[in-house]
Chain A
């Protein structure tokens, strides 16, 4: 089932064209990796998809209730119940406890002061899923980077969204935590949800994502299964590198060798 369908999206910031005519669709069960060099327009595209910024042209349709509806026509609360956004540098302003931060994920649901039992259950489930239940009472400002990212992901899960939009969810994490976050996102997709995440680690993207979308200078350059997208030609064209690409049984291994010197 199609969850998100974007057509012809373009965004201009100042007089610079950041995203140019991008078409994109997300179906149930997909874990989509959005890759591309710095400044390719990944973050801007994700923010448009989540309704945080308005595209200069193009339409986005979401399917929160079986019928595809234009994003502008969906009430903000319903949109937030359907789709969650994990920002790139999400820094809590106050030393709130982990549980309180996770509880914020319920904001699209409860309008009363007292959290409902359903909400309480969702919070506990999210804490357990991300393995932060032992940290529930700790202030978020005292967590390590990996623990914080897990807590913030628990915040996303607590809202029971169908679609998760994550901007570089594994940046600046150690390998163990990168795998942990990727596994959680993959599990979400496999359990009937969907994820679209901007990623920089190409090997992990290839290993976990069902589909990759390669962006370059605001345009969509290649799309498809990881092995089809991560070709030496694409890497040379988009990233400006030569790389050793090895398609194996257990995934694609990419070893960057050197920069392509501009002729």
Chain B
């Protein structure tokens, strides 16, 4: 039932990410040479090549990889944890918590004061959302009560974001908030990478290290317990990891939808439905998808930037529908 082997799939995905990464680095308005830029960087001679590459293109491309891999990985982890193919990274409210944190900062105008306010507020928002989910559901709760708490947090955060939009101080503030929410990687710098990368890295480690538990969880929580796992402990690792990496990803990119849902869904049959393999494959697949979507956005030469999150949703929605139609016989 597995048409291609796991190692081949991983190699193809890895190769795809590498090609898209280099291609994305090489494209842009300024015609510069990557080789020259790297040379200048190593010799620490300031040049246009080096500045454009280091200050403009690299942050964007690196963030595309970080954010894409995070969304794919977190989506696969949540689908495995909730044993449901329709779960996505935001299901427990961490994405909307992060978005609310960012919107508050934008609303009060702190975002203009210093660049770091926005990402910090978003990460804090994600962690607060996670704490609230725990408090609402209880620490020894069932998965169902976690989901219900997540739905509540999502609704409350969404309502508060609407309040901020409703009372936005000016038209510009309104536009800023709406555009930020749509999700984009434009105009990011290395500082964004530095602030997001540590949280993302810790989150990845926490999520990826749970691969054996997610496999065992295929047979249900009781069986996983009888196989020697402690679901409470594993759940804490997973949820803290989720909040850290998804919060950090949202903090630098806004809300980029559908990646976390579509990528694991698409790759699952290719890894033989094994939750552990899906984690690693989805991380690469997510990175590839966001890189490609970002390349697509940058190809469009329009006065007003088409937001990355709009593209992923625009492509993701119909694509997902197609996937459901194709596989629905299996899920019924």
Contacts and interface: CB of A to CB of B under 8 A. Distances in A.
Nearest to B228: A80
A236 interface: no
Would you list the 10 A-B pairs with minimal beta carbon distance, nearest first? A80-B228, A85-B226, A93-B83, A94-B273, A77-B228, A108-B228, A76-B228, A107-B227, A96-B273, A87-B222
A104 B228 contact: no
Nearest to B227: A107
B40 to A, nearest CB: 41
B180 to A, nearest CB: 36
A251 B272 CA distance: 45
Contact of B218 (A76, A93, A111, A137): A93
B223 A90 contact: yes
B219 A97 contact: no
Contacts of A76: 225, 228-230
Contacts of B272: 96-97, 100
A79 interface: yes
A96 B223 contact: no
B219 A139 contact: no
B303 interface: no
Interface in A57-91: 76-81, 83-85, 87, 90-91
Contact of A101 (B218, B226, B330): B218
Interface size class of chain A, counting residues whose CB lies under 8 Å from the partner chain: 35 or more
Interface of B: 1, 83-84, 212, 215-220, 222-223, 225-230, 268, 272-275, 330
B226 A80 contact: yes
Nearest to B229: A76
B226 A52 contact: yes
A39 interface: no
Contacts of A188: none
Contacts of A108: 227-228
Interface majority SS (helix, strand, loop, mixed), chain B: helix
Contacts of A42: none
Which of A87, A137, A152 has the largest count of B CB atoms less than 10 A from its CB? A87
A95 B273 contact: yes
Contacts of A139: 1, 273
Contact of A104 (B83, B216, B222): B216
Contact of A91 (B215, B220, B273): B220
A155 B216 CA distance: 11
Contacts of B215: 104, 107
Given A50-B226, A52-B226, A80-B227, A96 B216 contact: no
A92 interface: yes
A96 B273 CA distance: 5
B273 A87 contact: no
B324 to A, nearest CB: 16
Contacts of B230: 76
A214 B229 CA distance: 31
B8 to A, nearest CB: 17
Contacts of A52: 222, 225-226
14 contacts: A47-B222, A76-B230, A85-B223, A85-B226, A87-B222, A87-B223, A90-B219, A94-B275, A96-B272, A100-B274, A107-B229, A139-B1, A139-B273, A165-B226
Nearest to B226: A85
B280 to A, nearest CB: 10
B226 A84 contact: yes
B226 A95 contact: no
B226 A92 contact: no
Contacts of A93: 83-84, 217-220
Interface in A94-142: 94-97, 100-101, 104-105, 107-108, 111, 137-139, 141
A105 B220 CA distance: 13
B228 A107 contact: yes
Contacts of A87: 219-220, 222-223, 226
